[in-house]
Amino acid sequence: MTDLKTLLASNPYPGRGVLCARTLSGAVFGGYFLTGRSAASKDRALRLVGDELLVGPTAETEHDPLRHYAAALATPEWLVFGNGEQVSEVTERLRKGASAADSLGELEYEPDPPIRTSRITALLSCDGGRTAVLGAARPSTGSRLTTNVMTLTVRDLEPGEAVLMTTYRSDGQTVSVASPFDETTTGANDAAGLLDEIWSALNPEYRVAAVVLDPSRGPASAMQRSI
């Protein structure tokens, strides 16, 4: 498997990404990062407000549902994080008793033609992250406009193993739909090391913010880096 730093460095503009990783110490963490090309996409920050980790503008501006949203929420059983307003929707479904897989169903990719950005969401169980369920509402790589909905359940990652989803595969100019997911490896021993690994691998021209989360502590555990 390609290691995480190499994998991220090979994709200069990955859009947004979710990561589930077991560090070499055995602890499981979630990771989320944002990159941007436009001034509006770069004008964003991660903020902990109560028990919600929010993506919002750095200054007062009109709310944009495609750029401003709850990036991480929690239920008693799950840490939920992802790249859009579906994070709130998935969390509400879980709170009403839906299964992890069902909570990730019937979502749509973002209404942002011609790119058609995937909505990617990760659930990490609060029992130390033994189970990760990742979901993606993805556009077809062809001309079909209906959404492909995918869920992936990962159990008992070994130390040093990780699973990554990104929205794009891009050189910074041409953007295409990313592969459904990548299995990768991490050399990090702890949350700080994992955050450094993610941040240092992201292209400085496009990186905006990155965060690492402990599923047992929820959004309050957020450790982050930003421009």
- Domain spanning 4-226: CATH 3.60.20.20: yes
Kindly report the length of the chain: 227
- pLDDT for 59 beyond 80: no
Q: Find out whether 18 and 31 touch, Cβ atoms under 8 Å.
A: yes
d(CA 195, CA 130): 20
What's the mean pLDDT when you consider all of the chain?
95
Question: Each residue of 65-88: b (16+ CB within 10 Å) or e?
Answer: eebbbbbbbbbeebbbbbbbebbe
Residues 6+ apart with CB under 8 A from 114: none
d(CA 46, CA 38): 17
- pLDDT for 60 beyond 80: no
DSSP string, 127-153: TTS-EEEEEEEEE-SSS--SEEEEEEE
Provide the pLDDT confidence category of residue 61 given band limits of 50, 70 and 90.
confident
What is the pLDDT at residue 150? Answer: 97
Provide the pLDDT confidence category of residue 20 given band limits of 50, 70 and 90.
very high
Domain boundaries, the chain: 4-226
pLDDT tens digits for range 23-44: 999 999 999 999 999 998 898 9
Rounded percentage of the chain residues whose pLDDT exceeds 70: 100
First vs last C-alpha separation in the chain:
30
Upper half-sphere CA count for residue 40 (Cβ side, 13 Å): 8
- pLDDT for 73 beyond 90: yes
What is the pLDDT at residue 199? Answer: 98
pLDDT tens digits for range 179-201: 999 999 999 999 999 999 999 99
What is the pLDDT at residue 64? Answer: 76
For residue 210, give Cα distances in angstroms to 83, 141, 142: 12, 27, 31
Q: Which residue has the higher pLDDT, 143 or 105?
A: 105
Nearest C-alpha neighbor of 179 from the set 166, 170, 198, 192: 166
| Averaged pLDDT for residues 138-156 | 94
- pLDDT for 65 beyond 80: no
What is the pLDDT at residue 153? Answer: 98
